[in-house]
Every structure is written in C-alpha cells, then in structure tokens.
Structure 1
C-alpha cells in the first residue's frame, strides 16, 4: 500500500543513506524530506532520478514557525490526496553548537530547539494524520549515558535541570565553551528519549514511537558548526575509528536507521534501539517524573504554534500509559 514517510535530516550523512535504503526497499513509500534552503531540491532531483518517489518541504528546524508552516503544508497535501496516507515520521536532524549560548529565533537555546522542540511540534501537528500501523523514530545518541564506554571522553554527559532552564541559553557551566555546547547536546538527546517514552504512553494504539541510537559515527555533518581543528579531526582522523568496534560507519548507521523505520528491527513502542537491536538506554533515561515535566514544558513552549494548526488536531494531553 502506498504511504508517506516524513523525514528530517535526509539530505546528508546517515539520513541520506537511510533515505536511499527506505526508498529502495519499500517502493510504495513516498518520502517527504523536510530540508533547509536548496538542499531539498537537490535531494529530490538526485534521488528522484533513480525512479524513487520523493518530494520536499522547506523549514529551518530552529524556527518553530517554520516547523508549523511545514507541518501545515504536509497536512494540506495529505488532506487533498496529493500524498498517500502518513505512516511515519523520522526526526533525524540534529544540532550541536560550539557553545550553550546560541539562541534561536523563538528565544530557545538552539540545540534544545532543534533536537527536542522541533520533533515534538512535528509529532503534535501530524499526530491525527497518521494511519496505523505507523512509526515515529527519533534519532538519539549514546552520549546520553555520560560514561567513557559510550562517549570515549569526547562529550560530557547530560546535566539535567528543570526544562525551563534547559530550554534557555547559559544552562550549563562554562556556557561559552565547546564543553558547554556538547553538554547541551547530550542533555538534549536524553530529553529526546524522555519524550519518546511519553509518546509511547500517549499515542493511540498502532502508532509506535522509538528512539534510535546510531552510535558514534565519524565523518557526519554534526560538527559543521565546530571550530576548524574539530572539523578537521572529524573529517580526517575520526573516520579511521569506524574501522574499530568503538564507532559505526555511515553506511551501517544509515542502514540501521532504515531498518528501524521500516520495522525490520523488532522494537515495541517506547524502545531504544542501539544500532541494530532494541536495548536498554541509560538508567537515568527512565524517569517518569522528568518525562512528565518535560512533556508539560514542551507543550507550553510550542503551544502558540500548535494552536495555529488545524483545530481538528488530536489531543494527547490527558493520555495514559498503555
């Protein structure tokens, strides 16, 4: 049956590889890529040339207004029948800044805005358009463990605080340093797992939510906002680590992501998939109180943009575990 999968972060890195796998292995899929600038047109032309069905909508994921506009366009296209039924959302795009002081257009810290709020707003605005069985996949990171085995000493572990603090700049010690920016990144990925647990509780039966961890993937575009030395190391030195058990090559990470999206990797709703199998995330990532507090905060932060969507949008506010 023909269906639509909406995907962010499909224009480069593991997302680009995953997009190609999804379309090749599931010919009935219409992949709708949410991209920034001219990346969508290039992606559509290059992948579409192979005979796959792909289109794009523009959005800067750091802007909640852009996210709302993209979601509105997707809803309209679904309602008109221009897109087949919606069966998936893949929140793969990620942001890592060189500090914890970068503020987005809505006043939120940029890492939190992209890695947490953009995904949440997409889920909320599209939730009533999903046709079961459907799957939401949010790309997480093993940096959320905060230990040497998972981070190899390169990324500080998460430093959880009240969501109203995390959402603003300067939430961490030495916020003007790269360490501050990396702490914001690992903390945002912990937050993403918390929200996946909430989606699993609140979404209707047949709409699953899964967190996917690609592992350490050298050579991706994640360090594009880093300084020249860090970018050089990620491009030239770190790819060698893909040959060791401590890292995942881009091709494998993209294939694993496609496996999760297509359901080839068995993972019940609320799961954390570590590369190719469902596994336990960190002990810290299972905290119903934090999950509920983050849910409530994310609802407040995005309320003005969610309210401007079609009023028939579903309500998960009073959802309960299932």
Structure 2
C-alpha cells in the first residue's frame, strides 16, 4: 500500500544509508526528506534515481518556526492528496556542538532545539495526519548511559536539570568548552527517550514510538562542528574501532535504523532499540516525573509554533 515516510537527517551518515534501504526494501514508500536549503532538492534527486518516490521540504531544524513551516507544508500536501497516507516519521537529525552556548534564532540552545524540540514539534504537528499502523522512530544515543562501558569516557554523561534550564544556553558547567557541548548532547539524548515514553502513553493506538540507538558510529557528520583535530580523528582514526564491539559501522547502523522503521526489528511502542533488538535503556531513563515535566515544558516551548 502506498504510504509516506517523513525523515530528517537523511543527507549523510547512517540516515543516508537508512533512506536507501527504506526505498529499496519498501517500493510503495514515498520518502519525504527534510533538509536545509538547496540540499533537500539535491538529496531527493539522488535518492529518486531508479524510479524511487522521493520529495523534500526545506527546514532549519534549529528554528521551531522553520520546523512549523515545513510541517505545515507536509500537512497541506497530504490534505491535497499529493502524498499518500502518512505512516512514518524518522527523527534522525542530530547535532553536537563544541560548547553549550550556541543559540538558535528563537533563543533555544541549539543542541536542545535540534535534538529535542524539532522532533517533538514534527510529531505534534503531524499527529492527526498519521494513519495507523504508523511508526515514529527517534534516533537517540547510548551516551545517555553516561558510563565507560557505553562510550569509553569520550562523552560525559547527562546532567539533568529543569527543562527550562536545559533549553537555554549555558545550562552546564564550563559551557564554553567542548565538554559542555558534549554534556548538552548526552542530556538531549536522554530527553529523547523520556519523550518516546510519553508518546507511547499519549499517542492514539496504532501510532507507535520507538527510540533507536545506533551505538558509537565514527565517520558520520556528527562531529562537523568540532575542531580540525577531532574531525580528523572521527574520519580517519576512530573508524578502526568498528572492528571491535565498541563501535558500529555506518552501513550497519543505517541498515539497523531501516529495520526499525520498516518493522523488521520487533519493538513495541515505547521501546529502546539497541542496534538490532529492543533492550533496556539506562536506569535514569525511566523516570515518570521527569518525563511528565519534560512533556509539559516542551509543549509550552512549542505552543507558539503549534497553533
């Protein structure tokens, strides 16, 4: 049956691999990619080679106003019948900065805006357009565990605070440093799991929400905001780690993401999928009080853009 899957973060890395798998393995899928500026048109053209159904909308994911504009265009195209029924949303885009001070155009800290608010706003603005069975997949990270076993000390663990604080620049100690930026990243990924738990509780039956962890994947664009030494290490040195259990290759991680999106990997709503199987996320990620507090805050943050 013809259906639409909306996807962010399909331009490079595991998202590009996943997009190619989705199109190849689900020929009835119309993949609508969300990308910034002219890159969306170029990406759609590349992915549509071979007769695949691909279109795009442009959006700055760091701006809630930009996300609203993109989601509104998607809603309008669905309503006009230009797109088949909506059955999937893949929030794969993510950002990690070298500080915790980067501010987006709407005043939110950019890590939080892209990794948390953008996904939430897409889900809420498209919620009434999903046709069951549908699946929402948000890419998270095992950095949310905050221990050596999961990231070998490369990224500090999350430092949870009130979402009113987390959403603004300077939420963490030494916010001008890379450590502050990495703490913002791991904390934002903990937030994505909290929201997936809330989606599982609140979304209508038949609309499932799943958090997907690809593991540590060197060689992607995640370090694009880092300095030249870190970027070189991510591209040239750390990929060797994919030969060990500590890392996942880009191709494998993208395939695993496609498996989750297409339902090949069994995962009930609210699940945390660690690469190829549903698993337990960190003990800290199961906290109903924090989940409710975060939900209330992101609803308030995005309310001006969801009307």
Report the TM-score when normalising by structure 2.
Answer: 1.00
Gaps of 5+ in 1: 308-322
Task: Tell me which residue corresponds to 1:276.
Answer: 276
Structure-2 separation of matches of 1:176 and 1:28:
47
Task: Tell me which residue corresponds to 2:41.
Answer: 41
Shift >3 Å, 4+ stretches: none
Q: For 1:77-128, what per-residue CA distance to the aligned partner results, in whole angstroms no more than 9, with x for missing partners? A: 0000000000000000001000000011110100000000000000000000
Task: Tell me which residue corresponds to 2:170.
Answer: 170
Q: Verify: 1:98 aligned to 2:98, yes or no.
A: yes
Please give the residue correspondences for 1:139-288 in structure 2 after superposition, counting only pairs within 5 Å.
139-288=139-288
Alpha-carbon offset, residue 42 of structure 1: 1.3
SS of match in other structure, 1:159: coil
Structure-2 separation of matches of 1:214 and 1:186:
14
Alpha-carbon offset, residue 51 of structure 1: 1.3
Task: Tell me which residue corresponds to 1:18.
Answer: 18
Structure-1 separation of matches of 2:305 and 2:47:
32
Task: Tell me which residue corresponds to 1:8.
Answer: 8
Report the TM-score when normalising by structure 1.
Answer: 0.95
Structure-1 separation of matches of 2:40 and 2:83:
17
Q: For 1:268-315, what per-residue CA distance to the aligned partner results, in whole angstroms no more than 9, with x for missing partners? A: 0000000000000000000000000000000000000001xxxxxxxx
Structure-2 separation of matches of 1:251 and 1:49:
19
SS of match in other structure, 1:212: strand
Structure-1 separation of matches of 2:257 and 2:49:
23
Structure-2 separation of matches of 1:106 and 1:97:
17
Q: Verify: 1:53 aligned to 2:58, yes or no.
A: no
Task: Tell me which residue corresponds to 1:311.
Answer: none
RMSD of the TM alignment (CA)? 0.5
Q: For 1:239-269, what per-residue CA distance to the aligned partner results, in whole angstroms no more than 9, with x for missing partners? A: 1111111100000000000000000000000
How many residues are paired up? 307
Alpha-carbon offset, residue 40 of structure 1: 1.0
Q: Verify: 1:108 aligned to 2:108, yes or no.
A: yes
Gaps of 5+ in 2: none
Structure-1 separation of matches of 2:46 and 2:169:
38
Task: Tell me which residue corresponds to 1:318.
Answer: none
Structure-2 separation of matches of 1:66 and 1:175:
26
Alpha-carbon offset, residue 76 of structure 1: 0.3
Q: For 1:32-62, what per-residue CA distance to the aligned partner results, in whole angstroms no more than 9, with x for missing partners? A: 0000122111111111112110000000100
Structure-1 separation of matches of 2:69 and 2:107:
18
Structure-1 separation of matches of 2:277 and 2:52:
28
SS of match in other structure, 2:265: coil
